Amino acid sequence: MVAANIDGTAIAKSIRERINADIKKTQETNPRYKPSLKIIQVGERSDSSTYVRMKLKAAEEANILCELVQFPESITEPELLQQITRFNNDPTVHGILVQLPIPKHISEHTITSAVAGEKDVDGFGISNIGELSKRGGHPLFTPCTPKGVMVLLEESGVDLKGKTAVVLGRSDIVGSPVSSLLKNADATVTVCHSRTQNLREEIKRADVLVAAIGKPQFVKGDWLKPGAVVIDVGTNYIPDDSKKSGQKLVGDVDFDSAAQIASKITPVPGGVGPMTVAMLLQNVINSATIYFEKQKARHIKPLPLKLQSPVPSDIAISRAQHPKPITMVADEVGIAAHELEPYGASKAKVDLTLLQRLGHRKNGRYVLVTGITPTPLGEGKSTTTVGLTQALAGHLGRIAFANVRQPSQGPTFGIKGGAAGGGFSQVIPMDEFNLHLTGDIHAISAANNLLAAAIETRMFHESTQKDGPLYKRLVPTTKGKREFKPIMFRRLKKLGITKTDPNELTEDEIHRFARLDIDPETITWRRVLDVNDRHLRGITIGTAPTEKGLTRETGFDISVASECMAILALSNDLGDMRERLGRMVVATSKNGDPVTCDDVGAGGALAALMKDAIKPNLMQTLEGTPVFVHAGPFANISIGASSVLADKLALKLAGTEADEIHTDKAGFVVTEAGFDFTMGGERFFNIKCRSSGLVPDVVVVVATVRALKVHGGGPEITPGAALHEVYRTENVDILRKGCVNLRKHISNAREYGIPIVVAINKFETDTDAEIAVIKEEALAAGATDAIPANHWAEGGQGAVELAKGVITASSKEKDFKLLYGLEGSVQERIEKIGKTMYGAEQVEFSELAQKKVDTYQKQGFGNLPICVAKTQYSLSHDPSLKGAPTGFTVPIRDVRLAVGAGYLYALAADIQTIPGLPTAPG
């Protein structure tokens, strides 16, 4: 009998053809599916280069992107590890193969172990080999040659169950892994090697022989059991004068004699060799498929809540829940390890490169949470944001993010307290959330105050030096050479000076370049502090003798009121933030020209201080669902919303791939706007959406029985005092009267063409009749739905019906439009807000406000959106006017400029930019 040849060449070819067809078919629904392999070769050896050429040619035939990356033999181990890390972190690379051998000064174990397990297509990494050797293990990738051996046996129709198999050779590359695979196929396996006694007898018992001992023609035909199946893995060269090269390739088995005894045998060459390469390509395909499937298989595993009645304090609830490691939160939503920068165990920053990696995704659904005009106790807007997200992610199986602002330490230690939500709908750990977090507010404070110091210093030096010495100090000669710093070209361009050699400027050009000539009366840039320190509202600076009489009246704002914070919230990337910081106008020159941060030369320094702050912070809710905490602009005088970048990141993480059904799989990003819709919502649309280009799918307006009773004529609510009986007992009449406030907010929200859901934040004293009144009034006013929710007491479970209503509303048609354009005058835009949103009869400008508006228009800043700073306790500027007042006049006492943030803000009535502490601070 003559053994049948097991034709590895033909089988490998059919595998390559199938891979090619599979790739093309997958690309029909997912054009981004492009399996890619990187082969790393250090130095160049003729034997390994031959194998590399075979792999490159086979990959091309299979439609796999394959690149040989060669490094010189002198490369150091750390340098090589850096390159492997780069490929590990590159989502377009699915397989990494280190071509062996590598130079002796580099540890082979260290290098092969550095390849990420999910890209170890050679199958020799610790995790893959470990899983393979485990009974019931699940390696991601099986080493290519052993895998090829098993495919050859399968293709040849060999049933291994109960067969006696002998593996000749115990190497980590073939012998050991192939023995594990044979055992897993239910064969009885014996591993033999050069020191095995009675080797011929052991081989004689084998139904299947796998020879991988590395000795040419070692096994003879008479060693074999008649009818045995022989897989020859050997690759040995022996002298052969008939060959051009002087040698020929043979296996570990004497083919001619073995073919007379065996039933089936692999030739050398043409047997296992081509299969090794084919299995490598198959592993690359598997890796790419796993990667793309993982992108779609994101799933949040919620933490269980231990609900209690009565509900404990917020801090007690927070401390009783053990949060997930933040790395787990990130992994569940598809944030890669290299995209995460942990700050301890429960918070982390997310790198902005994630936006590029997920740029192809269709955004998830965008939900804006806002509210009716609140009481000083707040109506649970943050609590609703968190509870709704817990319901969506923890109970309805959607990817969902809560995107909230970072709270200021001022209110945390003041009247308001923390801003982490409340009850069983909180961001945890709440103490870390409310205090330093990752230091973003400190970075804002440092940047803001650096600019303040730079302004005063520039004025000081200009007042004590003549043009020549001043210019020489600004542009000094260093190592015999004098040149402008890069930032200086911004000012030169602004002045129309095109010269690049500092020595060529005329006296007039030197004067204009060196002298900002700031008018001290026009300086708008103030120092900031994240503390409610009322005594810093007005201060005198420059009183020391060294300041030579340059005293000036100024003051402090709270840190979150800094324009730097608004810029952090509205920037689209690091470069955008740098440009915005440079554009900030800090004063006016005596000639009436705006003086910017870049004129002072500080734009780059501010961006450097804020380069980490621009990365959103990842935390979690009590139920372990993800939260982005980023930026915290003061809600009275700024946009009062979290950052554009956090929203964009979350919308991509909650988005869908090309081959997913968007309506079924789209996740949700639930963000909030400060205070009520008429303040926070209006700015959210007209400033934030205008800047980001994003449009919400649904607006959630949070209402409470308590607040609506206030608007119906109920007595004032004072923090710390006992609630009046009207708020603790049923009173449908006063409630219905107060619903005028809810109707106005719904009417205002409808101006923007987005579906509206009213969330009735339920308190234990609310009655069914009162809830029914709010629902009736909300639907009559044009809301899509009005749904009670008890998430404060029940967590996400208490907001499930609200979440279902939001899902339904988010799929409805939108007719989005902004409230105003930017073409008309500043007065027209402010009047549009005052009359349409607030219900005012007219808007009145003070002399100061009008003068400043005239200046801004003259300077070219007249076409910016408007942020009106006013009280949050009334639709009007007057906190005593409840309900939905009409016929009043809004007094605009000042208008300030925030060019970097991209808006003007008008101060209505008496708004403070740094709060004070109460009698009994928090």
User: Smallest Cα–Cα separation from 744: which of 714, 715, 716, 783?
Assistant: 783
* Token pair of 702 as six digits: 């949070």
Q: What is the largest CA-CA distance in the chain?
A: 112
**CB contact at 8 A, 698 and 806:** yes
Q: CA-to-CA distance for 12 and 61, rounded, in angstroms?
A: 11
* Bond preceding residue 269 cis, omega within 30 of 0: yes
Q: How far is CA 52 from the centre of its chain?
A: 38
Alpha helices in 465-572 (DSSP H): 467-474, 488-494, 507-514, 563-570
d(CA 364, CA 663) in angstroms, rounded, equals: 9
Q: How far is CA 529 from CA 407, 442, 457, 634, 786, in A?
A: 14, 9, 20, 13, 41
Report residue 116 CA to chain centroid gap. Answer: 22
Q: Kindly give, in sequence order, each residue whose CB lies less than 8 Å from that of residue 589, ignoring residues fewer than 6 positions away.
A: 516, 517, 518, 519, 595
Choose among 99, 145, 149, 140: nearest CA to 121.
Answer: 140
Q: How far apart are CA 747 and CA 678, in angstroms?
A: 10
* Closest C-alpha to 291, from 427, 423, 432, 95: 95
Backbone angles phi, psi at 734, to 5 degrees: -65, -35
Instruction: Say which residues have a Cβ less than 8 Å from residue 616's Cβ, sequence separation at least 6.
Output: 349, 350, 628, 629, 630, 643, 645, 646, 649
Q: Which of 741, 744, 758, 749 is nearest to 686 (CA)?
A: 749
* φ/ψ (deg, to 5) at 482: -120, 125
Q: Give 342's strand partners.
A: 348
**How far is 565 from 571, CA to CA, in rounded Å?**
10
Please list the alpha-helical segments (H only) found in 272-376.
Answer: 272-296, 314-320, 326-332, 353-357
| Terminal CA-CA length for the chain | 94
Q: Which H helix or E strand runs over 531?
A: none
Alpha carbons 341 and 464: distance in angstroms, whole number: 47
CA dist., res. 68 & res. 37, Å (int): 9
Structure tokens at 558: 């709270």
Residues taking part in catalysis: 55, 99, 122
Alpha carbon of 459 to those of 551, 585, 593: distances in Å?
11, 16, 16
SS3 content of the chain, % helix, strand, coil (to 5): 40, 15, 40
State the Cα–Cα distance between residues 107 and 799, nearest whole angstrom.
Answer: 56
Residue 83, amino acid: Q
> Is residue 273 a contact partner of residue 235, using CB atoms and an 8 Å limit?
yes
- Residues making up the chain, counted from first to last: 922
H or E element, residue 607: helix 603-609
Q: How many CB atoms lie within 10 A of CB 479?
A: 5
The answer to whether 80 and 86 have CB atoms below 8 angstroms apart is no
